Structure 1
Amino acid sequence: MDIISKNRWVAPMLSVLLVCIVGANVVQATGKWNEASDSKQMTELAASAENSENSFSEDRRMMKDGTSLSTDASIQADNWTNSLPAKNWLTAAQEEQEQKEAKAKHVARAAAAAKAKKEAALKLAKVEHAKAVAAITTPPQKLYFTRTKLLNQEDSKLATWSYSVSDKELLLLQKIVMAEAEGEPYEGKVAVANVVLNRLRSANFPDTIYKVIYQKSQFSPVANGRLKRVTPNEDSIKAVNAALNGKKEVADDTYYFLSLTLADDLTVARSQKKVKTIGHHTFYK
């Protein structure tokens, strides 16, 4: 017990000493950590300062070279704009130009269509003119008939029968037209040729041009000899050619004509139905 009483102060002192030693170690360790942290912070601050200095130096250099500091911002803005989806925005000038081009194309197409139409019309007119000239200058060698009418050459497939015209009969037809209608209008000459051809078609009259013209008591120039004396003029030839090609001044059922002022026998005028009058001739069914 005495030993314990004498040595009881030792434990507290050992505790105090142990605390001091541990505290000293903690302070030493803490100081080292703070020193390392402070060193790291100082290094980062130095690097930042150096970057700022470099950036400032670069800006000074660019300004000294005359380069605007806003160029980079402008380039970035352009790059951003270009990165956007493309849009078909047209300026007013571009729209106006496109409208002009569209109008020009429309006008060109319209002109081409009008030209084509005009050319087609001219071509048709030439064809019709050629037909008209042929009808005047070129007599057909064959006539085409149905039971009721003389057909145009283009309608030959509709014919029920045909008739070949000889050169001798062609001249004879031209002469009877000349002898009967020398002083008559061109239409009257065509009508006289129509009457002869209508009789050729009809079953009530002879079946050849020669026999029709020379049928007894039918054409006065045959009886008085005028038929042999006349020479067909240009109008008579044209009128015959036109009639042979299908031109008609009187209907297909017209079989008679006479001059009411010159005829001695007016039986036809009293017995037949009048169709029309051309010049001095009156035509009958």
Structure 2
Amino acid sequence: MDIISKNRWVAPMLSVLLVCIVGVNVVQATGKWNEDGDSKQMTELAASVNNGAVSSNEDRRMLQDGTSLSNDTSASSADWINTLPAKNWLVSAQEEQELAEARAKNKARAAAAAQAKKEAAVKLAKIEKAKEAAALTTPPKKLYFTRTKLLNQADSKLATWSYSVSDKDVLLLQKIVMAEAEGEPYEGKVAVANVVLNRLRSANFPDSIYKVIYQKSQFSPVANGRLKRVVPNEDSIKAVNAALNGKKEVADDTYYFLSLTLADDLTVARSQKKVKTIGHHTFYK
């Protein structure tokens, strides 16, 4: 009992020592586990980063050359496409298609505009041709002159004076053209009408178509009676209508014409300046 009484402190000390030993072992075991866990996490993080870099590099290479770096031939095209994160090549293809469609639309619009322009030009040409045809069939009701020339109907605002054309004037002009130039070309018929109208304009000749044609010793068909006998043909009518509408085969200062082979008096040929020859007629100013 004395021994136990003397050594009663030993048991508590052993208990404390045992607790300390167990605690140290637990702490060491816990630290090692944490270290292993941290190391494992760091290893996984590094692998993830590396894998991301490799994946990014592979993505770039796949976008550049359009081929996959995978050696797994069993993977389908759809699976490979779905592995591309942004699918930029699909966007590029769509943009190319939109650009091609825009170019096609622009080309179609340009073609349509060119066709419309061509049709407008054809329509304008038809209108001009219709106007010319009207000039061959319809004489104007009024002539417009300046001091030096006969104006066409479109330039009437520039006129310094005008002359009202009667039906008798038109018929008389057609008859003198027919009588003087029946066998002459169409241009020669227009030129004869031009000479009569040039005289009408000039202050040196009478001031009406009738007076110009019937002026003494000017037109041989008047003297020999042929003027009264002729009936204007189609060419003579067209030539007169064209001249009245402004068509000119000789200049506005041309006042004379004659046939050098048929004329009895060649005074005009010797005294006036030659302008041109049409058929058998020579014109002078």
Provide TM-score, normalisation by structure 2: 0.72
1:222 aligns with 222
Q: Secondary structure at the match of 1:90?
A: helix
1:113 aligns with 113
* Partner AA of 2:115 in structure 1: K
Taking structure 1 as reference, are residues 247 and 78 closer, same or farther at Cα in structure 2, changes over 3 Å only? closer
- 1:90 positional shift: 3.4
1:169 aligns with 169
Q: How many Å separate the matches in 2 of 1:197 and 1:272?
A: 19
- 1:106 positional shift: 5.0
2:205 corresponds to 1:205 = yes
Taking structure 1 as reference, are residues 169 and 20 closer, same or farther at Cα in structure 2, changes over 3 Å only? same
2:13 aligns with 23
Q: How many Å separate the matches in 2 of 1:223 and 1:129?
A: 39
Higher radius of gyration, 1 or 2 = 1
2:270 aligns with 270
Q: How many Å separate the matches in 1 of 2:132 and 2:158?
A: 22
* Partner AA of 1:216 in structure 2: K
Q: Secondary structure at the match of 1:131?
A: helix
- 1:196 positional shift: 0.3
Provide Cα deviations, 1:78-99, integer angstroms capped at 9, x if missing partner: 58x43x59566535x985x667
Q: How many Å separate the matches in 2 of 1:211 and 1:15?
A: 179
Q: How many Å separate the matches in 1 of 2:88 and 2:9?
A: 77
Provide Cα deviations, 1:109-147, integer angstroms capped at 9, x if missing partner: 343233123202211210111111011111111111111
Q: How many Å separate the matches in 2 of 1:159 and 1:149?
A: 9
Runs of 4+ in 1 over 3 A off after TM superposition: 13-19, 27-35, 84-91, 97-107
Q: What is the 5 A alignment of 1:125-164?
A: 125-164=125-164
* Partner AA of 1:130 in structure 2: A
- Specify every segment of 5 or more residues in structure 1 that has no aligned partner in the other structure, as ranges: 1-9, 45-70
- Specify every segment of 5 or more residues in structure 2 that has no aligned partner in the other structure, as ranges: 34-74
Q: Secondary structure at the match of 2:200?
A: helix
Q: How many Å separate the matches in 1 of 2:114 and 2:254?
A: 45
- 1:208 positional shift: 0.8
Taking structure 1 as reference, are residues 252 and 16 closer, same or farther at Cα in structure 2, changes over 3 Å only? farther
* Partner AA of 2:261 in structure 1: T
Q: How many Å separate the matches in 1 of 2:257 and 2:5?
A: 170
Provide Cα deviations, 1:236-276, integer angstroms capped at 9, x if missing partner: 00000000011101000000001111111111111100111
* Partner AA of 2:163 in structure 1: Y
Q: What is the 5 A alignment of 1:91-110?
A: 95=96, 101=101, 104-105=104-105, 107-110=107-110
Provide TM-score, normalisation by structure 1: 0.72
